[in-house]
Amino acid sequence: MTRTMKLAATTLFGISLAFAATACGSENEAPSDPNTPATSAQAPSGNSSVPVVAGPKPRSGTTSAASTVEGTSEDGNKTCGATKGPDGALYIHVVQGDVSCDTAKTIANEYGPLIATGKAQTVSGWDCGPATNPGELARCSKGSQAFSLMVQ
């Protein structure tokens, strides 16, 4: 390759890099089309360098109707509604003894955040931990009373 060819190739390479860099501007430099709706990214007040993208509105902290429904499950156990689990709602089923729903809900609400540890925990005198029975995520017991936290 001659010196002239090397110089021409280097020049063309440099020009192509310059065009590529020009085409890769930021979004702020992109022309806007008046027929296109505005983007949903907005800068939060106080720090304009971090964009915030709008998403679905979080659910309110109120309990749903399902969380307060008491009844009987298909297997004949008393049900006490739902509580919050690490990945969604967990349903409270009394599986042994005469546990009141108020007691089961109170213990389940305290134990719910601890389920993700995967270890046995003592919550207000109740022994709670991962369950070994099919369908149960966790079980809490105290003496001859027990309730389970189930996915469905």
Q: Is residue 9 part of a domain?
A: no
Q: Is residue 20 part of a domain?
A: no
Quick: pLDDT tens for 58-106. 544 444 434 456 666 666 678 898 888 878 888 999 999 999 999 999 9
Q: Is residue 92 part of a domain?
A: yes
The count of domains in the chain is 1
Q: Is residue 111 part of a domain?
A: yes
Q: Which of 141, 138, 142 is nearest to 129 (CA)?
A: 138
Q: Is residue 41 part of a domain?
A: no
Residue 34 has pLDDT above 50, yes or no: yes
Q: Is residue 4 part of a domain?
A: no
Q: Is residue 25 part of a domain?
A: no
**Range of 94's domain?**
65-150
pLDDT value of residue 129: 92
- Predicted TM-score (pTM) of this structure: 0.53
